[in-house]
Amino acid sequence: MTDLIDVQLVEFAGLPLVYPYSAALFQFPMSITISIVEDDSAIREGWTGVINRTPDFRCIAGYGTAEEAMEGIPANPPDVVLMDINLPGLSGIDCVRALRPRLPEVDFVMLTMFDDRDRIFDALRAGAIGYLLKRTTPTALIEAIQQVKAGGSPMSAEVARQVTQFFRESRPDAKTANPDLETLGEREGQILKMLAAGRHYKEIAAQLGISIDTVRTHIRRIYRKLQVNSRTEAVIKFFGR
């Protein structure tokens, strides 16, 4: 059994909870490309080996600093970036914050030794879609990448507990905490609530009787109005962070 769960924020008795689901329910493209940003060459090479030994997974680049990544990733964008937080020079969080608006189709997953709340939420606000501890097993690492491509937000169990605990301890009224939510139209508000409940684009389209392209159009408008760059950031604003 792995120590990884896919976090979806759903509500039960007025509180957001984590809800795991299996990425095995979804089909993936023939090849998933990954880039690694990690200053420790031994760790970087170890992750590269795990990825390249997995069928239909391919590591296309490795970078030792955020500065190298900010130059190389836009020129050769992967599907998923595994990003260390503590890098020499610019941090991994700052690197994600700089790259995410330029590369909206790339998913960033943080891999770090730290599970404190400030780092977790800083990374999520910067645009990271997942947050794993470096002691994550190779099997769990591959599962996390699969979950990302299925539309999930993988987190190590310890990290998920921190997120859940935060929302249980403090949940102000979302609109009071984030007046930007008042700018959303009725349909946009419906879609944001469904995103926060862990729904995928196809599910949203089917439930609302609209096309997936229309869902994407609404989501782009939501991101623009909330001044965010990712689903995770939008959900954090929805829950009043």
Residue (of 194, 186, 187) closest to 238 by Cα position: 194
Q: What's the CA gap between 16 and 165, in Å, rounded?
A: 10
Single pTM value for the model:
0.64
Tell me what pLDDT residue 121 has: 78
**Last residue of some domain: 104, 136, 167?**
167
Q: Does one domain contain both 185 and 143?
A: no
Q: Does one domain contain both 137 and 176?
A: no
Full residue range of the structural domain in which residue 163 is found: 4-167
Q: Does one domain contain both 45 and 128?
A: yes
Tell me what pLDDT residue 186 has: 87
Q: Does one domain contain both 53 and 133?
A: yes
Q: Does one domain contain both 184 and 160?
A: no
Q: Does one domain contain both 111 and 162?
A: yes
Tell me what pLDDT residue 1 has: 42
Number of structural domains in the chain = 2
Q: What's the CA gap between 10 and 19, in Å, rounded?
A: 7
**CATH code (residue 202):** 1.10.10.10
Q: Which residues pair with 57 in a beta bridge?
A: 32
Output the furthest CA–CA distance in the chain (Å, rounded): 51
For the segment 128-181, what is each residue's pLDDT rounded down to a tens digit?
A: 888 888 888 899 899 889 888 877 777 766 666 666 566 555 555 444 455 667
* Cβ atoms of 33 and 7 closer than 8 Å: no
For the segment 172-228, what is each residue's pLDDT rounded down to a tens digit?
A: 544 445 566 778 888 988 888 887 766 777 888 899 999 988 988 888 888 888 887
Q: Which two tokens stand for residue 134?
A: 């470096």
Backbone angles phi, psi at 222, to 5 degrees: -60, -45
SS3 assignment, position 10: strand
Q: Does one domain contain both 21 and 117?
A: yes
Tell me which amino acid residue 170 is. S
Q: Does one domain contain both 130 and 108?
A: yes
Q: Does one domain contain both 162 and 179?
A: no
Residue 54 has pLDDT above 90, yes or no: yes
* 165: exposed, middle or buried (Cβ count in 10 Å: 0-12, 13-18, 19+): exposed
